[in-house]
Chain A
């Protein structure tokens, strides 16, 4: 069962194709990260999925509803934290949540219980009566996430939820999001250009640039598909050992520094063969470390690859 399914979705603004043939499937219950640089089409995709904009071509279904024919049904079942937090700064935190509870026709007691349920774990309950205009950006962002979950939606859209936050606030919000997502059991569609967010929160990730989907899969799959596993070695390496390593078919690429070697391997599972070879060639090893490329490298290589193809 898919929470989101798009097929060749297209949306242009004048000559600019903001979303260009996007085909995507997001399984129910997953935290899906949609990563891409600024202006890559992430926000437009969310607007299309919420039925706030009509596509120029293709089609999209959210929770089984067509975004063009049944946008009201979609908005009734989703929550959204868009580019801006959308909070009313002249109102208190409680009133902000209460308003959204009323919008979703929750009863008074339901709203009260829910406000406590959402604000207490975020350490905001005691400050619920304060007008939020004077709150820090991190607190407002937490409140905006709580507002998104107020009516227990099946699916939530979070557009760059940690944008503009300092690293501490960003990490705290990420933790809150993680625990909220686990507790509430909702599907999350998260756009970000913060790759740490995507890596730590998402079970599936899609990479978008210039409105086109460049890759999709779990962070692990993307790491394996787009870059070779790496072996980091430090110590003393005689020239003979380096030549033998260079000639080994397991090694795709070698970077040599004064006291270190970085090897891109075809199969990280056979890295012991390399280590044995080095020991036999009288190399003195201080440290051996296996590592796969992080999502940032994957992302950069995909964007670079797309740029090269574009040229």
Chain B
């Protein structure tokens, strides 16, 4: 099954990165992402970019946004462009198709994150190095890499699940946007809490060991990724997809 998964992933990544749409819009948006996250933000943040724990928030959230932007297309797009039935009539197994789709979205998030990490490191060194070589701190490097994988995996499995059940790419994208909003609302609501409550929250947060928190979040994400992938596998039925 592994060669089949690689085949599906190869095609997906080729569509995302190499060929894209004939007008080159997808390539332009990729370049724009690298300009923002690889050049503009590091220039604004200076040396803190490679040492501040805030950076981990960027590398943790951004893959989710990037993957969400493309993953809605995975099945809904194939259905909309009438390529799904041809794909389903090949020798590929259900699992190979599904895992190939999830893996390609995950790799898309990871590749973009890692390219941006690298470009941002070069930017910081060129702009603020002054002869010294600046590197990401070890916890930040490990955190950024592991979070990019886990968060991309989360967005990929949620996106594929939504895309499987959606009639069109637009519908899948709307559902993904609502989901993202639901994730952000609790964070936004924090600012409406009374000042005393917020202060006590900050005091409590200071007492927590950050490494432990990051580890727990990582484990939680891993479990969530596995559960969502299992749900996708359960819901993937050729005959249902054909009739939809």
Q: Interface residues, chain A, CB within 8 Å of chain B? A: 13, 47, 50, 52-54, 72, 75-76, 78, 80-92, 95, 99-100, 102-105, 131, 133-134
- Select which of A53, A90, A95, A100 is within 8 A of B239 by beta carbon: A53
Interchain CB contact under 8 A, B15 and A103? no
Task: Give B26 Cβ to nearest chain A Cβ, in Å.
Answer: 9
Interchain CB contact under 8 A, B86 and A105? no
Q: Does B87 contact A (CB under 8 A)?
A: yes
CA distance A55 to B165 in the complex (A): 24
B242 contact set on A, CB distance < 8 A = 47, 52-53
Interchain CB contact under 8 A, A91 and B87? no
Task: Give B35 Cβ to nearest chain A Cβ, in Å.
Answer: 23
CA distance A88 to B91 in the complex (A): 18
Task: Give A256 Cβ to nearest chain B Cβ, in Å.
Answer: 52
Interchain CB contact under 8 A, B82 and A86? yes
Interchain CB contact under 8 A, A103 and B238? no
Across the A-B interface, the 9 shortest Cβ-Cβ residue pairs: A86-B86, A84-B82, A76-B91, A80-B89, A102-B7, A86-B83, A99-B11, A133-B22, A75-B91
CA distance A136 to B86 in the complex (A): 20
- Select which of B3, B10, B21, B90 is within 8 A of A90 by beta carbon: B21
Write the chain A residue with the least CB distance to B91.
A76
Interchain CB contact under 8 A, A84 and B85? yes
Write the chain B residue with the least CB distance to A99.
B11
Q: Interface residues, chain B, CB within 8 Å of chain A? A: 3-4, 7, 10-11, 14-15, 19-22, 81-83, 85-93, 238-239, 242-243
- Select which of A81, A89, A104, A134 is within 8 A of B91 by beta carbon: A104
CA distance A25 to B62 in the complex (A): 57
Interchain CB contact under 8 A, A90 and B20? yes
Interchain CB contact under 8 A, A95 and B19? yes
Task: Given contacts A91-B15, A105-B3, list 9 more A-B pairs with CB under 8 A.
Answer: A52-B238, A53-B243, A84-B86, A88-B15, A90-B19, A103-B90, A103-B91, A131-B19, A133-B21
Interchain CB contact under 8 A, B14 and A54? no
CA distance A72 to B242 in the complex (A): 16
CA distance A80 to B86 in the complex (A): 7
Interchain CB contact under 8 A, A52 and B88? yes
Task: Give A207 Cβ to nearest chain B Cβ, in Å.
Answer: 25
A78 contact set on B, CB distance < 8 A = 89
Interchain CB contact under 8 A, B91 and A87? no
Among B20, B81, B89, the one with the most A-chain Cβ atoms within 10 Å of its Cβ is B89
Among B19, B21, B242, the one with the most A-chain Cβ atoms within 10 Å of its Cβ is B19
- Select which of B3, B11, B15, B90 is within 8 A of A75 by beta carbon: B90
A52 contact set on B, CB distance < 8 A = 85, 88-89, 238-239, 242
Interchain CB contact under 8 A, B87 and A86? yes
* A76-B91, A95-B19, A133-B22 known; A88-B85 Cβ under 8 A: no
Write the chain A residue with the least CB distance to B85.
A82
A87 contact set on B, CB distance < 8 A = 83, 86
Task: Give B107 Cβ to nearest chain A Cβ, in Å.
Answer: 17
B81 contact set on A, CB distance < 8 A = 88-89
Interchain CB contact under 8 A, B89 and A91? no
CA distance A251 to B86 in the complex (A): 52
CA distance A47 to B84 in the complex (A): 13
Task: Give B94 Cβ to nearest chain A Cβ, in Å.
Answer: 10
CA distance A131 to B242 in the complex (A): 26
Interchain CB contact under 8 A, A131 and B22? yes
Write the chain B residue with the least CB distance to A131.
B22
Write the chain A residue with the least CB distance to B238.
A52
B20 contact set on A, CB distance < 8 A = 90
Interchain CB contact under 8 A, A100 and B15? no
Write the chain B residue with the least CB distance to A84.
B82
A13 contact set on B, CB distance < 8 A = 243
Interchain CB contact under 8 A, B83 and A90? no
For this complex, 24 residue pairs linking A to B, each with C-beta atoms less than 8 Å apart, are A13-B243, A47-B242, A53-B239, A53-B243, A54-B239, A76-B91, A80-B86, A80-B89, A81-B86, A84-B82, A84-B85, A84-B86, A86-B87, A87-B83, A91-B11, A91-B15, A95-B19, A99-B10, A99-B11, A102-B7, A102-B11, A105-B3, A133-B22, A134-B22
Interchain CB contact under 8 A, A99 and B239? no
B21 contact set on A, CB distance < 8 A = 90, 133
Write the chain A residue with the least CB distance to B96.
A103
B243 contact set on A, CB distance < 8 A = 13, 53
* A47-B242, A53-B239, A84-B85 known; A91-B91 Cβ under 8 A: no
Write the chain A residue with the least CB distance to B16.
A90
Write the chain A residue with the least CB distance to B242.
A52
A86 contact set on B, CB distance < 8 A = 82-83, 85-87
Interchain CB contact under 8 A, B83 and A72? no
Interchain CB contact under 8 A, B7 and A99? yes
CA distance A88 to B20 in the complex (A): 11
Write the chain A residue with the least CB distance to B239.
A53
CA distance A13 to B243 in the complex (A): 10
A100 contact set on B, CB distance < 8 A = 90
